[in-house]
Amino acid sequence: MVDVRPGDLVRVVKRGGLVIEGVVLPSTEFTSENHLVIKLSSGYNVGVSLEDAVVEVLVEKYLEPATSEETSKVTVFRGGGNLKIAFVSTGGTIVSKVEYETGAVRPALNASDLVEFAPDFQELSSELVVVDFMRKLSENMTPEDWSRISEEVGKYLRSGADGVVVAHGTDTMSYTAAALAFSLRNLGNPVVLVGAQRSSDRPSTDALYNLRACPIVVRDAPFAEVVVAMHGTTDDLYTLIHRGVRVRKMHSSRRDAFQSINDVPLAKVYVREKKFELLNRRYLPRTRSSDVRILSRFSSKVSIIKSYPGIDCEIFDYLVDRGYRGVVVEGTGLGHVREECVESIRRATDSGVVVAMATQTIFGRVDLDVYTTGRKLLKAGVVPVDDMIPEVAFVKLSWLLGNFPEDSPSEIKSKLVSNMVNELGSPQSVEIFPRWYHGDRLREAEA
Amino acid sequence: MVDVRPGDLVRVVKRGGLVIEGVVLPSTEFTSENHLVIKLSSGYNVGVSLEDAVVEVLVEKYLEPATSEETSKVTVFRGGGNLKIAFVSTGGTIVSKVEYETGAVRPALNASDLVEFAPDFQELSSELVVVDFMRKLSENMTPEDWSRISEEVGKYLRSGADGVVVAHGTDTMSYTAAALAFSLRNLGNPVVLVGAQRSSDRPSTDALYNLRACPIVVRDAPFAEVVVAMHGTTDDLYTLIHRGVRVRKMHSSRRDAFQSINDVPLAKVYVREKKFELLNRRYLPRTRSSDVRILSRFSSKVSIIKSYPGIDCEIFDYLVDRGYRGVVVEGTGLGHVREECVESIRRATDSGVVVAMATQTIFGRVDLDVYTTGRKLLKAGVVPVDDMIPEVAFVKLSWLLGNFPEDSPSEIKSKLVSNMVNELGSPQSVEIFPRWYHGDRLREAEA
């Protein structure tokens, strides 16, 4: 029997003529020596008995687990295509593996292993620069990290990359995507954040499929925006390309956890067919220029406060005392907090704190003109952020306070509600609200 | 011409024989004297020219706007049915009207006007007790209000009501629904919260349809749970009956803003057909007993903290200093906060504060066993709340700390993750995650 290792692309020919081609997955306690688990190009995994079978290794690609924590290792590949792509890994599940001692998942793979695992990268690129930039689980990302990632990504855009792919943990991927969308302006080419809900060493990983979609976006996207590339369904059917300022992780574990909010996804990519399909005609067009503007400062003095019944209004005083300069309130409904808090909020705005109002309903827009509570909040200086996702309003406010330190609060407020990168003001569309399960009968009626 | 007033049920017979029956809506600046706007039983509103028409008032029901702020006015109606129903109004848009001076919406209608507007109440009930209990916009509800509403609703259940309907503002309706679900145990009969996204004096109001669904729930529901009755679609197609501990306002303005999270709605009601359809077989069964147990205390020393990149961990110390006894953290992904906060959280749990972990993804369950960050949080004493909605975990923790003051933090933690009223531990089901719009092609493929 030939020497087959996880990551190898193999062809297994069984007696009788059945041919199975795919990538060998790491063996588990459930696989015996006489079996291989192979990931088919369809995305499905099959167990193959090697009895009466001929195995041929088509391409050797072993996913060597990295042991060092060193970062910023740069590897350059020369591929068979004509694109210049940079791949910047920041960590996350996509570069993680299961620690067999503890069972926990930690970032331990090299970025170059990842792109080798996704052959489309080298197939489509003439020059592929792979950077092991950070190894962070994304819950630990900070606004200072957003600055560092912005500078790194901006560097490759400036040096003529046709696109930059950023591997990132999924927990706060949408926050970082929004941060890059504000900090990298006049992009010229797309920046694609990609991640995985299952670590890359697991047979069920979604990393491979999502990774393979990225160079196709770089090749075909007509937009120059910061986007998120994650599974569109629970199967390997297509990867959705979401606008970075309009996407949210909406499930703790599903592969299709990332979904567009108050907007239609920009595109989808059918990886097997290498097909790119545009879904949304509202975007910043690609110019292929390399004169990106980098505004990479973020203030760490911005907070998100979620409103809830009986909230202690002194939290606003606390934030003023702690030197906060911005607060995004996740209000209820159209953007409300209890009336009792209006005075504390007024004291905050009087002290120069920018208080923005978003909604905890996530979908829809805030409107402080409808109810008396909203009107009082407006009078207290609160700025409603229209249909901006609360987390995006938080990132934008952090970015504004970081990059425009000379601006008055009213100038910051005005910029906060001015559309910059399609983060607000989507056209009203019934389709934007997802369809919920209301019983079989309905589902049948719809089908 | 006969004297026709808004709220009257009229029959208009046009020359040629066209017959239009419905409820007259208030005139607006757009309706002329020779026109009526009529809400048909289909839910649609039509403008009717009175030229060559005969108008007959079938039932006079004028929606007299209340001017007083007095509450707890009790009115008893004798109807033609056989149910004993209590209708407790707490305020909200459903009892609100537009102030023509300012254009703002304020609670100003009598509860008895509302039930008169929804004839099904009197049709199905032998005794209908209508209580003007509060006139609060729901953003101003507090845990103390939950106690008061619990006592009031419990009183009618104890006195043999077949069901209690609670009119409530939509902003925090799901919080109050959860509060009642925990405070009223061994219900025997259903408690139905109902509201409106458009005030009842507006032609587009959704109040009437949702109200009419309530007595049908009281008549037909096989469950004795606290539920929320709100529009299932943007049309008057059906009202969804959501489990009170499994529902969330997911849009700031749509009629179908309320949707079930991590669970299937309990039922739907087709109002025109007066038809009740059960969707979910997991429920607390109706016993029609009246020995409800009321545990109506809520601690106001519980907070919700949303995690975000770079969050200042001192917020946990602040809460300890302010005497908080419980904190629900809306973590990222499977339930994470930045590792830097683990120490502050440990100090909080060491001081006896119960720190619970939910997820800001809203959908899915938390799992602190997968990643190293989660494991550290577990060691620091954090309790993961499985698939409980963050807001429900907050209400439950407030209720536990209010009603079991002698319990140790570990007893409270253990109760928090023990299922009581189907607030956690739903069976995994693909259908629970809504279907998002991924482009026309997909929608066609699905149809």
Summarize pLDDT for A26-36 with one digit per residue, the tens. Answer: 665 444 567 78
Q: Does pLDDT of B382 surpass 50?
A: yes
Length of chain A: 447
Beta strands A35-39 and A19-24 are antiparallel
- For residue B100, the model assigns a pLDDT of 60
B277–A441 C-beta distance less than 8 A: yes
Residue A412 backbone zone (phi > 0: left; psi -120 to 50: alpha; other: beta): alpha
Asked if A55 and A79 sit in the same domain, the reply is no
- For residue A41, the model assigns a pLDDT of 64
Q: Does pLDDT of A387 surpass 50?
A: yes
- Residue A443 to chain B, least CA–CA distance (Å): 10
Distance in angstroms (rounded) separating the CA atoms of residues A226 and A224: 7
Instruction: Name residues 367-386 of chain A within 8 A of B (Cβ).
Output: 367, 369-373, 375
A382 in a structural domain: yes
* Residue B100, number of CB atoms within 10 A of its CB: 7
Instruction: For residue A105, give the nearest of B338, B363, B370 by CB distance.
Output: B370
Distance in angstroms (rounded) separating the CA atoms of residues A167 and A185: 20
B439–A265 C-beta distance less than 8 A: yes
HSE, side-chain direction, 13 A CA sphere, residue B307: 32
Q: Does pLDDT of A65 surpass 50?
A: no
Q: Is B100 on the interface with A (CB under 8 A)?
A: no
**CA distance to B303, B343, B398, B411, per residue, from B325 (Å):** 9, 17, 9, 13
Asked if B141 and B121 sit in the same domain, the reply is yes
Asked if A358 and A391 sit in the same domain, the reply is yes
Asked if A246 and A379 sit in the same domain, the reply is no
- Asked if residues A168 and A176 have their Cβ atoms less than 8 Å apart, the reply is yes
Kindly list the residues from chain B whose CB atom is less than 8 angstroms away from the CB atom of residue A262. none
**Counted domains in chain B:** 3
- Asked if residues B412 and B354 have their Cβ atoms less than 8 Å apart, the reply is yes
Q: Catalytic: A71?
A: no
- For residue B409, the model assigns a pLDDT of 98
Kindly list the residues from chain B whose CB atom is less than 8 angstroms away from the CB atom of residue A361. 248-252, 257
A358-386 burial, b at 16+ Cβ within 10 Å, e below that, comes to bbbbbbbbbbbebbbbbebbeebbbbbbb
B321 in a structural domain: yes
Q: Is A120 on the interface with B (CB under 8 A)?
A: no
Distance in angstroms (rounded) separating the CA atoms of residues A326 and A328: 7
Distance in angstroms (rounded) separating the CA atoms of residues B25 and B3: 14
Instruction: For residue A362, give the nearest of B171, B250, B335 by CB distance.
Output: B250
Q: Catalytic: A93?
A: yes
3-class DSSP assignment, residue A210: helix
**A2: pLDDT confidence band, cut at 50, 70 and 90?**
low
- Asked if residues B138 and B132 have their Cβ atoms less than 8 Å apart, the reply is no
Q: Does pLDDT of A261 surpass 60?
A: yes
Q: What mean pLDDT do residues B140-165 have?
A: 97
A1 in a structural domain: no
Distance in angstroms (rounded) separating the CA atoms of residues A400 and B288: 59
Six-digit token pair at B392?
């429900």
B375–A310 C-beta distance less than 8 A: no
- Asked if residues A279 and A379 have their Cβ atoms less than 8 Å apart, the reply is no
**B294: pLDDT confidence band, cut at 50, 70 and 90?**
very high
- Asked if residues B209 and B235 have their Cβ atoms less than 8 Å apart, the reply is no
B33 in a structural domain: yes
Q: One of A73, A75, A155, A171 is an active-site residue; which one?
A: A171
Indicate the angle between helix axes A342-350 and A314-321, nearest 10 degrees.
Answer: 20
Six-digit token pair at B391?
């807001």
Question: At residue B335, what are phi and psi to the nearest 5 degrees?
Answer: 120, 60
Closest to A305 (Cα-Cα) out of A294, A288, A319: A319
Asked if B167 and B87 sit in the same domain, the reply is yes
Distance in angstroms (rounded) separating the CA atoms of residues B73 and B75: 7
Distance in angstroms (rounded) separating the CA atoms of residues B100 and B97: 9
- For residue A27, the model assigns a pLDDT of 60
Instruction: For residue A434, give the nearest of B106, B373, B435 by CB distance.
Output: B435
- Residue A57 to chain B, least CA–CA distance (Å): 34
B335–A252 C-beta distance less than 8 A: yes
Angle, vertex CA B162, rays to CA B156 and CA B165, nearest 5: 65
Distance in angstroms (rounded) separating the CA atoms of residues B151 and B163: 15
pLDDT digits (tens, 9 = 90+) for B8-54: 788 888 888 788 887 777 665 444 567 787 777 655 567 788 888 88
Q: Is B98 on the interface with A (CB under 8 A)?
A: no
Residues 6+ apart with CB under 8 A from A408: none
Beta strands A302-306 and A326-331 are parallel
Q: Is B30 on the interface with A (CB under 8 A)?
A: no
Q: Does pLDDT of A442 surpass 50?
A: no
- For residue A430, the model assigns a pLDDT of 64
B433 in a structural domain: no
B338–A142 C-beta distance less than 8 A: yes
Asked if B280 and B323 sit in the same domain, the reply is no
Asked if A191 and A232 sit in the same domain, the reply is yes
Which of A380-389, A423-432, B19-28, B424-433 has the highest average model confidence (pLDDT)?
A380-389
Q: What mean pLDDT do residues A72-85 have?
A: 88
HSE, side-chain direction, 13 A CA sphere, residue A116: 19
- Residue A199 to chain B, least CA–CA distance (Å): 11
| CATH number of the domain within which A178 lies | 3.40.50.1170
Residue among B242, B304, B371 with most chain A CBs within 10 A, to mutate: B371
Asked if A14 and A80 sit in the same domain, the reply is no
B367–A141 C-beta distance less than 8 A: no
Asked if B247 and B311 sit in the same domain, the reply is no
Kindly list the residues from chain A whose CB atom is less than 8 angstroms away from the CB atom of residue B170. 333
- Which residue, of B255, B270, B294, is where some domain finishes? B294
Q: Does pLDDT of A190 surpass 50?
A: yes
Range with the lowest mean pLDDT among A246-255, B111-120, B360-369?
B111-120
- For residue B445, the model assigns a pLDDT of 41
Q: Is A17 on the interface with B (CB under 8 A)?
A: no
- Which residue, of B236, B271, B294, is where some domain finishes? B294
For chain B, percent helix, then strand, then coil, each to nearest 5? 25, 30, 45
Kindly list the residues from chain A whose CB atom is less than 8 angstroms away from the CB atom of residue B322. 312, 314
Task: Return the amino acid letter for A441.
Answer: R
Q: What mean pLDDT do residues A153-158 have?
A: 97
Q: Which residues are paired to B21 by β-bridges?
A: B11
Mean pLDDT (chain A, rounded): 89
Closest to B77 (Cα-Cα) out of B122, B110, B143: B122
Distance in angstroms (rounded) separating the CA atoms of residues B184 and B178: 10
| CATH number of the domain within which B379 lies | 3.40.50.40
Token pair 């996880």 is found at: A6
- Which residue, of B17, B37, B59, is where some domain finishes? B59
B67 in a structural domain: no
B249–A332 C-beta distance less than 8 A: yes
- For residue B51, the model assigns a pLDDT of 81
Distance in angstroms (rounded) separating the CA atoms of residues A383 and A385: 6
Q: Is A391 on the interface with B (CB under 8 A)?
A: yes
Distance of CA B344 to the CA centre of its chain: 35
Q: CA-CA-CA-CA torsion for B269, B169, B78, B214, nearest 10 degrees?
A: 10
| CATH number of the domain within which A15 lies | 2.30.30.520
Q: Is B310 on the interface with A (CB under 8 A)?
A: yes
- Residue A264 to chain B, least CA–CA distance (Å): 7
A277–B333 C-beta distance less than 8 A: no
B375–A102 C-beta distance less than 8 A: yes
CB pairs under 8 A between A and B: 247
Question: At residue A139, what are phi and psi to the nearest 5 degrees?
Answer: -65, -15
B442 in a structural domain: no
Q: One of A249, A268, A376, A396 is an active-site residue; which one?
A: A249
Mean pLDDT (chain B, rounded): 89
A65 in a structural domain: no
- Residue B15 to chain A, least CA–CA distance (Å): 38
Question: At residue B169, what are phi and psi to the nearest 5 degrees?
Answer: -60, 150
Closest to A90 (Cα-Cα) out of A16, A143, A146: A146
Asked if B310 and B274 sit in the same domain, the reply is no
Question: At residue A182, what are phi and psi to the nearest 5 degrees?
Answer: -85, -35
B265–A439 C-beta distance less than 8 A: yes
* Residue A438, number of CB atoms within 10 A of its CB: 25
Token pair 């504000």 is found at: A182
Closest to A115 (Cα-Cα) out of A125, A106, A105: A125
DSSP B139: G
Asked if A140 and A283 sit in the same domain, the reply is yes
Asked if A218 and A250 sit in the same domain, the reply is yes
Kindly list the residues from chain B whose CB atom is less than 8 angstroms away from the CB atom of residue A438. 232, 238, 240, 265, 268, 279
- For residue B114, the model assigns a pLDDT of 83
Kindly list the residues from chain A whose CB atom is less than 8 angstroms away from the CB atom of residue B311. 303
- For residue B107, the model assigns a pLDDT of 72
Q: What mean pLDDT do residues A412-422 have?
A: 98
Range of B189's domain? 73-294
Burial of A126 (0-12, 13-18, 19+ CB in 10 A): middle
Q: Which residue has the higher pLDDT, B15 or A245?
A: A245
Question: At residue A96, what are phi and psi to the nearest 5 degrees?
Answer: -105, 160
**Alpha-carbon dihedral sign for residues A277, A282, A283, A286:** positive
